[in-house]
Structure 1
Amino acid sequence: MKTHRVLVWMVPLGCAAWLGACGVEQPAPQCTVGRGDHAVRYTLKTGTGTCSLKTAEIVGAQVFREPGSGVPPSLVLKPKPLADNAGNDANPTHSVTSLGDFTTEYPGEDGVCAVPGMSEARQTVNLEGGTTVEVSYRWSGLRIQGQAAIPGTQWTAELTYSEGDCTATYEAVGVFPAILCVRQETGPDGKPVTVRDPRVCEQPRPGLSIDPAFPVTCDDSTNLCVLDGQPPVLKP
């Protein structure tokens, strides 16, 4: 894998809501991914026990590119559960990020940018009583949408997740950016309270918002706005 690169943050500005401005005459964008947090929806394929309970979570993503080199970029993924516990890893040699290479610099004829495999992200988590548990993420078969209308903001992959003695595999579907379907309001005691509100997923907001042309839904267990459908998907 390529390890020495100039870091270039790629911020895709989706134009799915304005497809009239994204005509076929426009050149295909380079393979990239939304810079920052993605909301990833999981569908269990195999596994039982603790490892089989994932429904959705935040995964950070970024691209490394050598400008002007013509060399396909590299992708880094960082699951939030590992990132949040990075300072407590009992084994400091572990990496909480996964690294993999795109196969091409530009999307293929199907508009997809592929990352066939990635390195393992692993963490030794300290538990109460002085025991530890090994947690790992292994991503494979990433297919990142690279069309002008969906530049790195929808993707699929397979995740093999291990925790202690159990292992589960999932179909992962990511959307950028990660948004929580909650809002703040004032409670009866005058204090702020957080209220679940699925409408937030489709509301414009300062800074980053999910493309209004993307169909999204509010995940019941995590309150994350996740993609409703299989990439590439736009509202009718």
Structure 2
Amino acid sequence: MKRRLIGLGMLLSACGAEQQDPQCVVARAVSDGSTGSFAVTYSLKPGQNPALACTRLKSEAVGLQKYLSQDPAAKDTVAVRSGSLGTLLRTEAARVDASVSIANAVGTLETEAPGPDNFCEVPVLSPERVVLTATPDAIAQDLTYEWSGLRIYNTPDIPGTQFIANLRYTANGCTAEFTARGIWPVVSCATSSTVRTPDESKCDPYADPPTRLRGSGINPSFPVKCDPVALICVLTGEVPSVP
């Protein structure tokens, strides 16, 4: 079944148009982890063993995309892809076991409009998985992201640009559970393309001429910092972080 995409641009209306009823939207994203995705942090849930390697999941770009159903009787869906898995699919294509790898997690958007708490709900999603075969120069890998309880915040000020979700992450048999919090867009806070050190000023939403001619593009109401490892601007507060 063919589906068409909906993004943040759907929020824009022509001058003089009648006001639309609120709808569940997702800020337009690019699922390969490039600019336009959500900057996501992972908080380890209580009861996990922090000594395990799989509990050290780093912040990353995660792509979300809403798909409109052409069947009036069917609900819309949301697809999710982690930036790290997207990178592996692209850079290790020759090693990907296509028989078991699944590029995107997909779930049903249960509501057409935000609920009383302004969240749009995707309770259940299929897993996304990448399996890489071993070569003389590289070991086999089996990575799975199991998302659930995806909640996307929608208001006129925050139109689908924050989300929170549960994540069960499995890396080569090691499993850990996280709370994921994401904001749109992904903004690099590396000093430069060659000097990979944190530059906190790049997360500032406001311009500061002549040093900084434009702001980060991040909603000024979002409390953010430069993640010193991922070198992207990430949320420091809860979801929702509202004005």
User: Structure 1 length normalisation: TM-score?
Assistant: 0.81
Taking the aligned partners of 2:133 and 2:164, their CA distance within structure 1 comes to 31
For 1:63 and 1:75, how far apart are their aligned partners in 2? 4
SS in structure 1 of the partner of residue 219 of structure 2 = coil
- Aligned mates of 2:70, 2:215 — CA distance in 1: 26
User: Hey, what's the Cα distance between the residues in 1 that align with 2:97 and 2:135?
Assistant: 17
Change (3 A) 1:166 1:206: same
After superposition, the Cα gap between the structure-2 partners of 1:29 and 1:88, relative to the gap in structure 1 and judged at 3 Å, is farther
Structural mapping, 1:106-117, within 5 Å:
106-117=113-124
Q: Are the counterparts in 2 of residues 12 and 152 from structure 1 also a CA contact under 8 Å?
A: no
| Bigger shift: residues 88-97 or 67-76 | 67-76
Corresponding position of 1:22: none
Residue 230 of structure 2: which of 215, 219, 222 is its match? 222
Q: Which has the higher contact order (CA 8 A, sep 6+)?
A: 1
TM-align CA RMSD: 2.7
Unmatched tracts of structure 2, length 5 or more? 12-18, 30-36, 207-212
Aligned to 2:203: 201
Matched with 2:97 is 91
Q: Whole-Å Cα distance in 1 between the matches of residues 159 and 199 of structure 2?
A: 27
Shift of 1:28: 5.0
Q: How much does 1:11 deviate?
A: 1.5
| Separation in structure 2 between the aligned mates of residue 59 and residue 84 of structure 1, nearest angstrom | 11
Alpha-carbon spacing, 1:52–1:27, altered in 2? closer, same or farther (3 Å):
same
The AA in structure 2 aligned to 1:119 is S
Cα offset, 1:234, TM superposition: 3.0
C-alpha change, 1:219 and 1:13, in structure 2 (3 Å) is: farther
For residue 174 of structure 1, the aligned residue among 182, 196, 218 is 182
* Aligned mate of 1:142, from 150, 156, 159: 150
User: Partner of 2:210 in structure 1?
Assistant: none
The gaps in structure 1 that reach 5 residues or longer are 15-25, 186-191
Show the counterpart of 1:9: 6
C-alpha separation between the residues in 2 aligned to 1:89 and 1:101? 31
Which deviates further from its counterpart, 66-75 or 176-185? Answer: 66-75
Deviating 4+ runs (over 6 angstroms): 205-208
Among 49, 68, 71, the residue aligned to 1:65 = 68
Instruction: Say how many residue pairs are matched.
Output: 216
Give the Å deviation of 1:6: 2.0
Q: What letter is aligned with 2:174?
A: C
Counting aligned pairs with the same residue, the percent is: 31
Select the structure that is richer in strand: 1
